[in-house]
Amino acid sequence: MQKKSRFFWVLAGVLLLTSCSKFRRIEKSEDWRVKYEAGLNYYAKKDYYRTAVLFEQIQPIVRGLPEGEKVEFYLAYCQYYEKTYVLASNQFKIFYETYGRSPLAEEATFMYAYSLYASSPDTNLDQTSSMDAMSAMQNFLNRYPASKFGDQAVAVIQESQVKLERKGFENAKQYLKLRYYQAAVIAFENFKKNFPDSQYLEEAAFLKVQAQFMLAENSLPNKQYERYNATLGYYRELLENFPNSPLLKDAQRFFTASQEQVNKLKPKNS
């Protein structure tokens, strides 16, 4: 059994060395056609790293030739499959700008946007790439309204919207957590404007009441009357928009306390 195992590893090592040696010979070849054919073979075997190495070498040579179109297109996919999404998006963009009349231009335009989407991080990080992906996908749909990639494009836009929505909500909550109450109120207000159909609107409306109340409590005396009054207004807004909200019970405490302060601080000439 040990002899068989040893033989297997020796054979695997020999094959690996042979494979590497063959690739090095191809890489050093001065004939771009050799690299082109080898690159296609490696691509068919899903060896995207070696395909990319060879195609990057011949890319300047074949530009403008019939083979150049395939080199540019496959190189973009190699970068995508290697998960270098930013490079892939740029390469797909170069392709559809260079080969706008190609039958592959539609797919390249879609993959440009999809690569941007794939590069977008989790919701706790900057979502610039998500916004770029949404914009690029919308441009794609405008250009190719009957595309076979249409459903995927719509799904990407929807998923990116969800990520941006969550990011906006978490940012507003973070201001409240850090006790930047005025910034939190503004952030929750902007969230409502930016995402009028959000699933988080109810909670955002409640947290805006809380943030405004905390702002009033921590304000200078000459600001408190106005800010407690604003708390009452935000509570009424919550009540009007979500009359059956389970959060109203907690919000009622802020309302009651604010009403007491408004009565207490009310200017005598009002």
Q: Which residue has the higher pLDDT, 220 or 3?
A: 220
In-domain check, residue 135? no
The pLDDT score that the predictor gives to residue 118 is 92
Cβ neighbours around 99 below 10 Å, total: 16
Q: How far apart are CA 109 and CA 119, in angstroms?
A: 16
Q: Which of 2-16, 36-50, 158-172, 191-205 shows the lowest per-residue confidence on average (mean pLDDT)?
A: 2-16
pLDDT above 90 covers a percentage of the chain that reads 77
The pLDDT score that the predictor gives to residue 27 is 85
Q: Which two tokens stand for residue 246?
A: 């389970």
pLDDT-derived band at 3, boundaries 50, 70, 90: very low
The pLDDT score that the predictor gives to residue 269 is 59
Q: Which of 14-28, 105-119, 144-158, 195-209 shows the lowest per-residue confidence on average (mean pLDDT)?
A: 14-28
The pLDDT score that the predictor gives to residue 191 is 95
Averaged pLDDT score across all residues of the chain? 89
What SS3 class is residue 244?
coil
DSSP string for residues in 157-202: HHHHHHHHHHHHHHHHHHHHHTT-HHHHHHHHHHHHHH-TT-TTHH
Query: Which residue range(s) make up the domain with 242?
Result: 171-270
41 CB-near residues (< 8 Å, 6+ apart): none
In-domain check, residue 162? no
| Residue 15: pLDDT over 50 | no
In-domain check, residue 24? no
Q: Which of 5-14, 29-38, 202-211 shows the lowest per-residue confidence on average (mean pLDDT)?
A: 5-14
Q: Which two tokens stand for residue 223?
A: 């600001």
What total of structural domains would you count in the chain?
Answer: 1
| Residue 230: pLDDT over 60 | yes
Q: Is the pTM of this model over 0.95?
A: no
Write the CATH number for 182: 1.25.40.10
The pLDDT score that the predictor gives to residue 14 is 40
In-domain check, residue 195? yes
| Residue 200: pLDDT over 60 | yes
Q: How far apart are CA 46 and CA 77, in angstroms?
A: 11
pLDDT-derived band at 240, boundaries 50, 70, 90: very high
The pLDDT score that the predictor gives to residue 22 is 81
Q: How far apart are CA 236 and CA 56, in angstroms?
A: 63
The pLDDT score that the predictor gives to residue 138 is 96
Please classify residue 137 by burial: count the beta carbons closer than 10 Å to its beta carbon, then call 0-12 exposed, 13-18 middle and 19+ buried: buried
In-domain check, residue 100? no
The pLDDT score that the predictor gives to residue 21 is 77
In-domain check, residue 180? yes
